[in-house]
Amino acid sequence: MASRSAGYGRGVATKGHLARAERLQGATGALATAAMAAMDEKLPWFGKLSAQDRSWIGLVAQSGITAFVDWFRDPEAHSAMPTRMFGSAPREFTRVISLHQTVDLLRTTIEMIENTIGDLLPPEDVPVVREAMQRYAREVAFAAATVYAKAAEMRGAWDARLEALVVDSVIRGEADESVRSRASALGWTGAGTTGSTEVAVVVGRAPESEPGSANVADVVRHAAREAGADALCAMQGDRLVVVLGGTSKPVEIAQNLAQWFGPGPIVVGPVVKDLMAAVTSARAAVAGLRAAPAWPAAPRPVQADELLPERSLSGDGHARRQLASDVYGPLTIGDGVLLDTVSAYLDSGGSIEATARAMFIHANTVRYRLKRVAEITGYSPLNPRDAFTLRVALAMGRLLNPEPGSTAL
């Protein structure tokens, strides 16, 4: 083996090899100085770093050269030396320069050593040192990749915790400027491909994770961005929460994400103006998820506002007030004939003729009034699902807005 004949490898080093290592030791100072000069000359970005960052890089370079000398003297005793050479740099080192730039630094330093040792060492030492340097450079490259991989894992874990904190703040209604700042740190802009800043919250059951499966949050974020929306995603117990930004059509985006949710309903909250107002959307989506089992035929995904009657029956006060104000309230305006007509129509089992007889009016008059009800409220009494919503709205309106002399619950 070349390494054995050169005097380094397994076994006891020869006197000639130890003498060669001592001569190399004496050249470390000149090599470190030459390495910094080569970086400054060949790497344009190096000169733009702060003095502190350049100092840290200089320490790493010097540590690497010193570690090479120790490794060259006895590779078996210093087998972990390439990995330890990065120990002199702070954790922020990986944020200052990229992995690509680190590779440039290593390449520049190695080329400098190969070109310089001929002037610092005897001719008979040069081939041996160059061969050892090639082996050592490979180990250093693996060590650098390990350092950056660990840093990426730590950043990924921290980002996941921060994202979960942001989503939790939205769900609990604690979104403020600090939450906006944290979301920005995660790359959230709130603007999709349309440039809109509107936000909607989507809630569904969490998928059953399998060993070795991809991170669901990462996949959902990627799918949302592919569909043209920004996204924040977090698992909260048995539910998956996705905050969509930059889209006025969250249901269409949610359809693209449905495969990543667990079985059961997926509820899309109403669109709000920005992340600060997202609690309104989150509250409706969570209440909708709780009430969705009462409507087995609900589409998947379903809008939270389509579940207003079920949400009201499950105890959602916001849904009750929304039905009372947005559906019942407009029907009471004027002489109240629309309210009387839709009430008689529902009580008659959905028969226009029976309603006309009960109110002593023509059937066409009933049809006209029911059409007006649909125009004013957005719910058509002729549609069974809308009729159910209207019936619940009438009940909620009468409970929350009792006539004089009655007792409200």
Q: Is residue 273 a part of any domain in this protein?
A: yes
Which of 288, 313, 338 is the last residue in one of the domains? 313
- Host domain of residue 309: 185-208+215-313
Q: Is residue 161 a part of any domain in this protein?
A: no
Q: Is residue 150 a part of any domain in this protein?
A: yes
Q: Measured at the alpha carbon of residue 262, what is the angle toward residues 260 and 266, in degrees to the nearest 5?
A: 85
Determine the distance from the C-alpha atom of residue 247 to the mean position of all C-alpha atoms in its chain, rounded to a whole number.
Answer: 16
- Whether 64 and 90 map to the same domain: the answer is yes
- Whether 89 and 135 map to the same domain: the answer is yes
Q: Sign of the C-alpha dihedral, residues 173, 178, 180, 186?
A: negative
Question: What is the per-residue pLDDT for 213?
Answer: 42
Question: What is the per-residue pLDDT for 403?
Answer: 59
Cα end-to-end span (Å), the chain: 94
Q: Is residue 170 a part of any domain in this protein?
A: no
Q: Give the mean pLDDT of 29-45.
A: 83
Question: What is the per-residue pLDDT for 225?
Answer: 84
- Whether 271 and 130 map to the same domain: the answer is no
Q: What is the pLDDT of residues 326-358, one digit of tens each?
A: 999 999 988 889 999 999 999 999 999 999 999
Q: Give the mean pLDDT of 224-252.
A: 88
Question: What is the per-residue pLDDT for 2?
Answer: 40
Helices (H), 121-176: 126-172
Tokens, residue 43: 């790497």
- Whether 328 and 228 map to the same domain: the answer is no
Instruction: Say how many domains are in the chain.
Output: 3
- Whether 9 and 135 map to the same domain: the answer is yes
- Whether 69 and 144 map to the same domain: the answer is yes
Q: Give the mean pLDDT of 191-210.
A: 78
- Whether 250 and 348 map to the same domain: the answer is no
Q: Is residue 348 a part of any domain in this protein?
A: yes
CB 198 within 8 A of CB 245: yes
3-class secondary-structure state, position 7: coil
The residue type found at 43 is L
3-class secondary-structure state, position 290: helix
Query: What CATH number does residue 269 fall under?
Result: 3.30.70
Which of 154, 173, 195 is the last residue in one of the domains? 154
- Whether 198 and 250 map to the same domain: the answer is yes
Range scoring the smallest mean pLDDT among 4-8, 319-323, 388-392: 4-8
- Of 88, 98, 125, 80, the C-alpha closest to 106 is 98
Q: Cα separations (Å) of 36 from 42, 58, 124, 233, 258?
A: 10, 7, 26, 44, 54
Range scoring the smallest mean pLDDT among 191-200, 219-228, 299-308: 191-200
- Whether 273 and 135 map to the same domain: the answer is no
For residue 122, the tally of other CB atoms under 10 A from its CB is 10
Q: φ, ψ for residue 98 (rounded to 5)?
A: -85, 170
Q: Is residue 147 a part of any domain in this protein?
A: yes
Own/partner contacts of 250-256, CB < 8 Å, gap of 24 or more, are: 250/200, 250/202, 251/301, 251/303, 252/227, 253/202, 253/224, 253/227, 253/228, 253/229, 254/202, 254/301, 255/301, 256/223, 256/224, 256/226, 256/227
- Whether 301 and 384 map to the same domain: the answer is no
Higher per-residue pLDDT: 327 or 30: 327
Q: φ, ψ for residue 202 (rounded to 5)?
A: -115, 130
Q: Cα separations (Å) of 37 from 34, 47, 50, 247?
A: 5, 11, 16, 52
Which of 263, 280, 313 is the last residue in one of the domains? 313
In this predicted structure, the answer to whether residue 277 has a pLDDT above a threshold of 90 is: no
Query: What CATH number does residue 367 fall under?
Result: 1.10.10.2840
- Whether 220 and 118 map to the same domain: the answer is no
For residue 238, the tally of other CB atoms under 10 A from its CB is 9
Hunting for tokens 């379903």 — which residue is that?
A: 302
- Whether 236 and 374 map to the same domain: the answer is no
Q: Which residues of 204-230 are buried (b: 16+ CB within 10 A; e: fewer)?
A: bebbeeeeeeeebbebbbebbbebbbb
Q: Is residue 164 a part of any domain in this protein?
A: no
Residue 211's pLDDT band, with cuts at 50, 70 and 90, is very low
Question: Cα separation of 313 and 329, whole Å?
Answer: 19
Q: Is residue 171 a part of any domain in this protein?
A: no
Q: Is the pTM of this model over 0.75?
A: no
CB 65 within 8 A of CB 35: yes
